A and B are shown apart, each in its own frame.
Chain A
């Protein structure tokens, strides 16, 4: 579904991603793990063309996307939940969700829009309760839920999550991962970057391990979890 071929990305003068290739199959959950500075977030930014891909190509459902604008990539069905949530903190919960569907205002009916919002509220009922609250005043967990909800408003085929568990209590992480699992069961493909590697691998079908901008190993998540060398190096023993 997403075919990344031999891409090189420079970020702030650093060769952050070096000749990296990853192939993500439809309806799978894929985790990318690795230490800080391994190029995980840069990879995600490159997929969305928030940083330019210098060499190499990215294909999404057979269509080349690495030269498209972020806006076009979103229209093609990829949505990123950015690291640090990046909410529009001055707007209400509902406005954040509405802006999430910004591309679709002229294309979908009001009832379709409401349906999408209701779907998000079904996944995260707390957001419905708080829909009139200014999003900057939500708790960290609720902000992450809203960030995911906002990304879902574009009705993506591929949902990308950058560090969804960062700074959240274990219970909240569990709830968010449950939703990710549910979305995947509904047919959505998921690509996830996580510090919390063990939890991420438990959730996912495949894992890729990144080290200084390159894939050093990859495989089925169970296999990675069973591999002693990997658990030692990346999962803290």
Chain B
């Protein structure tokens, strides 16, 4: 009984880690630009598929593939910002968000064209027997996913709270005019925010694909869940998105296990509606967090 529960929770934490990364990616761009980047899920998909391409199709060494995948997806994030967001600097926010939807559709089309509709996977990072804790079985890749996610989250927090570049980026979010006046290149910071969240997504995709497979059209559902995570934690609140991601992952897994796997995807949406109805500022937000964005 307990073992089963533990097993569900563990698998929930695993997908939750990816939602957390997507949610964090949402926040990074939102904090720099107030844009909700709905192509965030495609970054994750590209991470998985491009990693497959380098490591399986081209048979490149493991580390080389990872580095190349991260660089390539980061580059796609950069191009997305420079080609679609940057030229429209002063456009309406809603228009910008629609553009990210368009970008996600285009990216999905390209992915389908290149990879087809089949799911892809590659071997876990390390081979070996699963670990058994209190009867629950943990694949080694799960530990990789968790380790990598937590490391990324830690690095992001260090970046925003301890480095001058990170502080400058957060300054752009709080007051872009003042940021310009102290000589910060706001446009470059926005570009950087897209690169950073593309890379975060890619890392999530690279780590999760050996467990859950990756196909071209997984982006929107990842984006919805990451978005729920971000909303749940209070949009703009980095740590909130991380906690939200894990909560949604665990609830999803429990629903699939105890009720029906068909209801799994509804969980995030129900949570989203609940939050929007009863606590629009998010679990960790007060009214103030709606205006102050902080990592």
Contact at A91–B171, with CB atoms within 8 Å? yes
Q: Which of B46-54, B130-138, B172-180, B262-270 contacts A (4 or more CB under 8 A)?
A: B172-180
- Residues from chain B with Cβ under 8 Å of A98 in the complex: 164, 167
B residues near A (Cβ < 8 Å) are 164, 167-168, 170-171, 174-175, 177-185, 292-294
- Whether the pair B174, A74 counts as a contact (CB closer than 8 A) is no
Report the 7 A-B pairs with minimum CB-CB distance, sorted nearest first: A103-B183, A86-B178, A70-B180, A74-B183, A88-B171, A71-B183, A100-B182
Contacts of B177 in A (CB 8 A): 50, 82, 86
Q: How many A-B residue pairs have CB under 8 A?
A: 73
Complex Cα–Cα for A151 and B33 (A) = 24
For A74, give the chain B residue with the smallest CB separation.
Answer: B183
* Beta-carbon nearest neighbor of B188 in chain A: A71
Q: Which residues of B contact A74 (CB under 8 A)?
A: 181-183
A63 within 8 A of B: no
Alpha-carbon distance between A154 and B178 when the two chains are bound, in angstroms = 13
Q: Is the CB of A50 within 8 A of B164?
A: no
Known: A50-B177, A88-B171, A154-B183. 20 other contacts (CB 8 A): A48-B180, A48-B181, A50-B181, A71-B180, A71-B183, A71-B184, A71-B185, A79-B181, A82-B177, A86-B181, A88-B174, A88-B178, A89-B292, A101-B182, A102-B182, A102-B183, A105-B164, A150-B182, A151-B181, A154-B182
| Cα–Cα distance between A154 and B181 once the two chains are bound (Å) | 10
Nearest Cβ distance between residue B234 and chain A, in whole angstroms?
14
The B contact surface, by secondary structure, is helix
Contacts of A71 in B (CB 8 A): 180, 183-185
Q: Are B181 and A90 in contact (CB under 8 A)?
A: no
> What CA separation (Å) do A32 and B182 show in the bound complex?
23
- Residues in A neighbouring B179, C-beta threshold 8 A: 88, 99
- Given contacts A90-B292, A90-B294, A105-B164, whether A99 and B180 have CB atoms under 8 Å apart is no
CA distance A105 to B171 in the complex (A): 16
Q: A residues engaging B (CB < 8 A)?
A: 48, 50, 69-71, 74-75, 79-80, 82, 86-91, 95, 98-103, 105, 136, 150-151, 153-154
Q: Can you list 14 residue pairs at the A/B interface with Cβ under 8 Å?
A: A50-B180, A69-B185, A70-B180, A71-B184, A79-B181, A82-B177, A86-B181, A88-B171, A88-B174, A89-B175, A98-B167, A99-B184, A102-B183, A154-B183
Q: Name the residue of chain B whose CB is nearest to the CB of A100.
A: B182
Decide: A91 and B170 in contact? CB cutoff 8 A. Answer: yes
Contact A88–B183 (Cβ < 8 Å): no
Measured between beta carbons, the chain A residues less than 8 angstroms from B174 are 88-90
B145 to chain A, nearest CB (A): 31
| Measured CA separation A188–B237 after assembly (Å) | 41
Contact residues in A for B164 (Cβ distance below 8 Å): 98-99, 102, 105
